[in-house]
Amino acid sequence: DSGVTQTPKHLITATGQRVTLRCSPRSGDLSVYWYQQSLDQGLQFLIQYYNGEERAKGNILERFSAQQFPDLHSELNLSSLELGDSALYFCASTRDGRGTEAFFGQGTRLTVV
Amino acid sequence: DQQVKQNSPSLSVQEGRISILNCDYTNSMFDYFLWYKKYPAEGPTFLISISSIKDKNEDGRFTVFLNKSAKHLSLHIVPSQPGDSAVYFCAASLPQHFGNEKLTFGTGTRLTIIP
């Protein structure tokens, strides 16, 4: 158990819809990262938050947004969903904002039909 | 632009033998490299790392080698055990002063240990 909790584990939704993925980091970790893993691909960095503020942005679509709340949990919002958004979405956390040795959650498998 | 590459999608090794997983990178500014292991239906778990100031780091059965001139790193697992069967991801990060703290991942190598 990495200590990072992601909910839900599975999500099936229709094209055009909006979903919210939730992540609770390890206790004491200030930084949260979101990654997307599509079929047979590596993990693609989406966005990082550190202590409530956006720290770095990767290849995140404009239809996607995220935030980190005062209790340090984070949400990734995906809207106007397309079939190609089907993927595993992972959240990871670190204590100091450095991406090294990040601890990952189990992921949310999103299927867009 | 795939800055971290794992060119072997899969590898099968006999139990007890050595498993060697390879990773190449293109960005010479990367200064820290990591290996993650992933079982199905689980998130990646950190395995071992190496700083660019070193060329070898060992932790039990796992050793990571870094060849900076070749921009190549490898993970050696000796002896290989059935529980090592998983997907292995190589990852790299930039120095802290770049202000970009993400990990850049390879596409993974599926290791299967044959009993």
Q: Interior CA angle at A102 toward A100 and A108, to 5°? A: 145
> Which residues of chain A make contact with B101, given a CB cutoff of 8 A?
31, 48, 55-56, 94, 97-99
Residue B47 in this model has a pLDDT that exceeds 90: yes
Contact between chains at B102 and A90 (C-beta distance less than 8 A): no
> Which residues of chain B make contact with A97, given a CB cutoff of 8 A?
101
pLDDT for A15: 97
User: Nearest by CB to B107, which of A2, A42, A92?
Assistant: A42
**Among residues B101, B73, B78, which one has the least CA distance to residue B89?**
B73
Nearest CA to CA, how far is B45 from chain A (Å)?
7
CA distances from B25 to A16, A80, B29, B42, B84 (A): 37, 35, 10, 26, 24
Q: What are phi and psi of A74, to 5 degrees?
A: -130, 155
Mean pLDDT of A66-72: 96
pLDDT for A101: 80
**Among residues A108, A106, A95, A100, which one has the least CA distance to residue A32?**
A95
pLDDT for A23: 98
Mean pLDDT of B37-51: 92
Per DSSP, the three-state class of B96 is: helix
Rounded to an integer, what distance in angstroms lies between the CA atom of residue B75 and that of residue B57? Answer: 10
Residue A100 in this model has a pLDDT that exceeds 80: no
Contact between B106 and B4 under an 8 Å Cβ cutoff? The reply is: yes
Best probe of the A interface among B7, B35, B102, B104, by most A CBs < 10 A, is: B102
Contact between B101 and B70 under an 8 Å Cβ cutoff? The reply is: no
Residue B101: pLDDT band (50, 70, 90) is confident
Measure the CA dihedral A103/A105/A106/A111, to 10°: -130
Contact between chains at A100 and B103 (C-beta distance less than 8 A): yes
**Average pLDDT value for chain B:** 93
Rounded to an integer, what distance in angstroms lies between the CA atom of residue B20 and that of residue B76? Answer: 5
Residue A84: pLDDT band (50, 70, 90) is very high
Q: How many CB atoms lie within 10 A of CB A113?
A: 10
> Which residues of chain B make contact with A51, given a CB cutoff of 8 A?
none
Nearest CA to CA, how far is B99 from chain A (Å)?
8
pLDDT for A99: 66
Rounded to an integer, what distance in angstroms lies between the CA atom of residue B30 and that of residue B37? Answer: 20
Residue B99 in this model has a pLDDT that exceeds 80: no
DSSP label of A9: S
User: Nearest by CB to A43, which of B41, B89, B101?
Assistant: B89
**Average pLDDT value for chain A:** 93
Q: What are phi and psi of A31, to 5 degrees?
A: -110, 135
Contact between chains at B45 and A107 (C-beta distance less than 8 A): no
Contact between chains at A42 and B96 (C-beta distance less than 8 A): no
> Which residues of chain B make contact with A56, given a CB cutoff of 8 A?
99-102
Tokens representing residue B9 in the block: 């999608």
Nearest CA to CA, how far is A23 from chain B (Å)?
13
